[in-house]
Amino acid sequence: MSVLDLSEQEIFRRQSLEDLRKLGIEPYPQEGFEINTTTEEILANFDPEKKNYQNVSIAGRIMARRIMGKASFCELMDEKGRIQLYFNRDEICPGDDKTLYNEVFKKHLDIGDIIGVKGYAFITQVGEKSIFVKEFKILSKSLRVLPIVKEKDGVVYDAFSDPEQRYRQRYVDLIVNPHIKDVFIKRAKIIETMRQMFNEHGYLEVETPILQPIPGGAAARPFITHHNALNIPLYLRIANELYLKRLIVGGFNGVYEFAKDFRNEGMDRTHNPEFTVMEIYVAYKDYFWMMEFTEKMLQKVALAIHGTTEVPVGDKIINFKPPFRRLTMIDAIKEYAGVDITGMNEQQLREVCKKLDIEVDETFGKGKLIDEIFGETCEEHLIQPTFIIDYPIEMSPLCKRHRKNPELTERFELLVNGKELCNAYTELNDPIDQLERFKEQLRLSEKGDEEAMFIDYDFVRALEYGMPPCAGMGIGIDRLTMIMTNQPSIQDVLFFPQMRPEKKIERDEPAKFIETGVPQEWVEILINNGFTTVSALKNANPNKVHQVICGANKKLKLGLKNPTPEEVRQWIES
RNA sequence: GAUUCAGUAGCUCAGCCGGUAGAGCACAUCCCUUUUAAGGAUGGGGUCCUGGGUUCGAAUCCCAGCUGAAUCACCA
């Protein structure tokens, strides 16, 4: 990296780094730094009358500096919060040599540097709990300038708010917007709460393949990759359902997995190509049992995060207190679209769509038509948690037929805030029916449905050995976190959401320019004026190049002797 | 994929009926012994996203592109 690529401030910081080394101070020391408390504990518990916290050792990042002659204040931020540090020249440097304060502290420390300090807690004249620093140690020098966010009386100044930069450089976001951490702490708590509940029931947490030869268990386009040693294609899983059910065949009564799934589809506020789903399968249960289990689970999660079942989401309050409303899909359509679709055939359903002004495709079968009607007319109304039950059979190839109506399946989805949160079935364990359903999917696929499922013969074989009756449920952890933390976008509940790659500027070494005949003094000027590669220079108009570099020479007052246009032509044509 | 908006200093943004590029914070030098969005003085720092066009002259107007955001559409 050339010095010209650095901002002035970055150059100053690199200079400080050198100066520190010259003073015998290693800016990146090997040894650790013992800490014995946190900013949070001191601020919460320090009491001058008790004379506690008189020997503290803490470490963190410098987030603000106020220097005034012999005394200075810094703000130190650790994982838990910020506390003010008080530096006094004669305390830091008791002898005659004031270098440590005047040079090291005042000149070579910057906002963003990580330091360790030892000292005692006290209260300043203005009444702020602070640390009186007796010693400090540089633990890591920061060479980049942090965006500085200031705050007074709850008003934030110069917030670091550009979403692109926040997501691309999440580490900076977490430093300067520490409240972002809360979302992720809550996310971990949500998962912990669920895991604890499952374990109490005696269910086993398992891991199943992410690289799968057949991407099964859902309808979605997969990511494809290749295994060299076996010379076969492999898919990143779109779901783990079929593997978990194999384990139920194998004799476990309950298995669950927090799984990263991958789908090669669009990205938006509620979709990221990789996302987390929790799936759980419990033997000898049906979907009614699973609804109650799901209600209890969500109630526990809401209580763990909010201490109440009432959760604020946007301008709404969502109440996770069981029991949740249960509504069949047909009744939902009756209620919100005002149409009774009971017993309708495909043609009649098409007419309903037309009447309701719902766009449909020729390839849609009955199931998809009903799903469209439901999606268009009902979803947005289902704000409070609502189980939508008994889906048409065409949409649910892994779900058991309804015990009373063979056109339907024993499936429920839980809708919250107008969005699907959970999906669950009484699982299909009839191997012959399962094979038929897979074959129907194959027909849909041949008809052009890109998301129709593949046939997994090994899974059918497993069912042929016998799977106990079983209920299964999947829940989107990212969406659950969005609801529980009141975040409108999936990007805000993922540390590192998928982004387009950053544009890289191609660049040749200066030596390559010199090889083609460009005098050394002009190389950086060319690079800085957009001719970053030799080939870019070769493709340029010689007159333009001449004008640009002569212009730069004049503008930057470099005092170089301008080359003749003929010389420039030779660089380019050589 | 469609529409709208945005891209100017390290950060937040102003300038946009064309005429030498601005502020606050941050940074540098100096002053200041308890300050707190510390303060005072001085100073440095910009391919005004990129490429074309109009023009004597473009950050500003026009066209195209890139990147991002919002809304909508699509997607179990």
Is there contact between A147 and strand B, defined as CB under 7 Å from any strand atom?
Answer: yes
Exposed/middle/buried for A566, CB within 10 Å: 0-12, 13-18, 19+?
A: exposed
A window 287-346: Cβ near strand B (< 7 A): none
The pLDDT value recorded for residue A346 is: 85
Residue A198: CB atoms within 10 Å: 21
Computed from CA positions of residues A131, A133, A135, A137, in that sequence, does the dihedral angle turn out positive or negative?
positive
Alpha carbon distance, N-terminus to C-terminus of chain A: 27
Q: How many CB atoms lie within 10 A of CB A490?
A: 21
Distance measured from the CA of protein residue A268 to the C1' of nucleotide B72, in angstroms: 12
Strands A204-205 and A254-262: parallel
pLDDT in tens, chain A (574 residues): 344 568 889 999 999 999 999 999 999 999 999 999 999 999 999 999 999 999 999 999 999 999 988 999 999 999 999 999 999 999 999 888 888 999 999 999 999 999 999 999 999 999 999 999 999 999 999 999 998 888 888 788 888 888 888 988 999 999 999 888 999 999 999 999 999 999 999 999 999 999 999 998 888 888 899 999 999 999 999 999 999 999 999 999 999 999 999 998 878 888 898 999 999 999 999 999 999 999 999 999 999 999 999 999 988 899 999 999 999 999 999 998 888 988 888 888 888 888 887 877 777 778 888 888 888 888 888 999 999 999 988 888 999 999 999 989 999 999 999 888 999 999 999 999 999 999 988 887 787 777 778 889 999 999 999 999 999 999 999 999 999 999 988 999 999 988 877 655 555 666 777 777 777 767 766 665 556 666 666 656 566 566 666 655 555 555 566 667 677 777 766 6
A318 φψ region: left (φ > 0), alpha (ψ -120 to 50), beta (else): beta
Does the CB of A279 sit below 7 A from strand B?
no
Is strand B within 7 Å of residue A71 (CB)? Answer: yes
Q: How far, in Å, is the CA of A364 from the C1' of nucleotide B35?
A: 70
Q: A469: cis peptide before it, omega within 30°?
A: no
Task: Please tell me the pTM assigned to this model.
Answer: 0.87
- A30 beta carbon to strand B: under 7 Å: no
Query: Nearest nucleotide to A110 by CA–C1' distance?
Result: B27
Burial of A95: CB neighbours in 10 Å, binned 0-12, 13-18, 19+: exposed
Q: How far is the CA of A102 from the C1' of B42 (A)?
A: 21
pLDDT recorded at residue A541: 58
Greatest extent of chain A over all pairs of C-alpha atoms, in Å: 96
Length A544 CA → B54 C1' (Å)? 20
- CA–CA separation, A72 and A86 (whole Å): 6
Nucleotides of B under 7 A from a protein CB: 9-13, 24-29, 31-39, 44-45, 47, 50-51, 66-76
Q: In A3-142, which ranges are continuous DSSP H helix?
A: 8-22, 39-45, 89-92, 99, 106-108
Smallest CA–C1' distance to B50, residue: A530
> In the 346-405 stretch of chain A, whose C-beta falls under 7 Å of nucleic acid strand B?
359, 361, 371
In the numeric block, the tokens 């604020």 are attached to: A312
Cβ within 8 Å of residue A62, ≥6 positions away: A74, A75, A76, A77, A109, A110, A111, A112, A113, A114, A115
Tokens, residue A161 = 């708010």
Separation between Cα atoms, residue A371 and residue A356, nearest integer Å? 14
Q: What is the ipTM of this complex?
A: 0.88
